[in-house]
Amino acid sequence: MAVSGLRLSTRTGALLAAFLAVATQSASAGPATITWGSDLSAAPDHALAAGVDTVYWSTRSAHVRVRAPRKGQVTMVTVRGSSVAGACARLRCSARYERTILFQDLRPARGGRLRVVATSQPFELPATDASYSFTPMNFFVKKGDYVGMAILGGAFKVFATVSGSSVGRFTGAGHDRNGARVHGGSLGHTELLLKVTERT
């Protein structure tokens, strides 16, 4: 009887070890969090301004990924810099929106254009230089997408002079809504100080 009990105990221990191994594998296979976009190491040194709807996105970088490496949910977007107080008085845009920023999922489409897949809820970027984190609701991307920063008018000091980096820019009143296809000029030696945190 003692031998049988020993065999049962050994078998139970083996089953328990196998269960724990499977549980560990399941836990490690769970959602992962990744970051991409600017590493925010450069200091913002200039502002870009527009009097109407405009979206900016990173098109190239010498040292970081500017497109989503895999599909997932964007859980946080961190922007380094500030809005420029009083800019709309000069630009003739509504002062009500001169701090407003939104984030857009931009997906490559035919003809070198980008399709606006989704737009986040609006946020406010303060007029004091710092790093600010924002949490968009139900914001998903696919591999290869860009995340852009959209404005409704104003000036935003969220750009740094960085060799090897470039930023795309599209401007058009009401022309960057969901479903629209945008195509803008490229600003060389410029980095958009925007970092994406994504759960995959």
The reported pLDDT for the residue numbered 192 is 99
Rounded Cα distance, 69 and 84, in Å: 32
Q: Are 168 and 40 in contact (CB under 8 A)?
A: no
Over the chain (200 residues), the average pLDDT of each successive run of 10 is: 48 53 51 96 98 98 94 99 97 95 98 97 99 99 99 99 97 95 94 98
Rounded CA gap, 129 and 17, in Å?
Answer: 53
pLDDT for the residue 23: 47
Q: Would you list the domain boundaries of the chain? A: 1-30, 33-199
Q: pTM here? A: 0.85
| pLDDT value of residue 31 | 84
pLDDT (0 to 100) of residue 11: 53
How high is the pLDDT of residue 8?
42
pLDDT at residue 163, as a whole number: 96
Q: What is the DSSP letter of 153?
A: S
Interior CA angle at 35 toward 32 and 41, to 5°?
A: 150
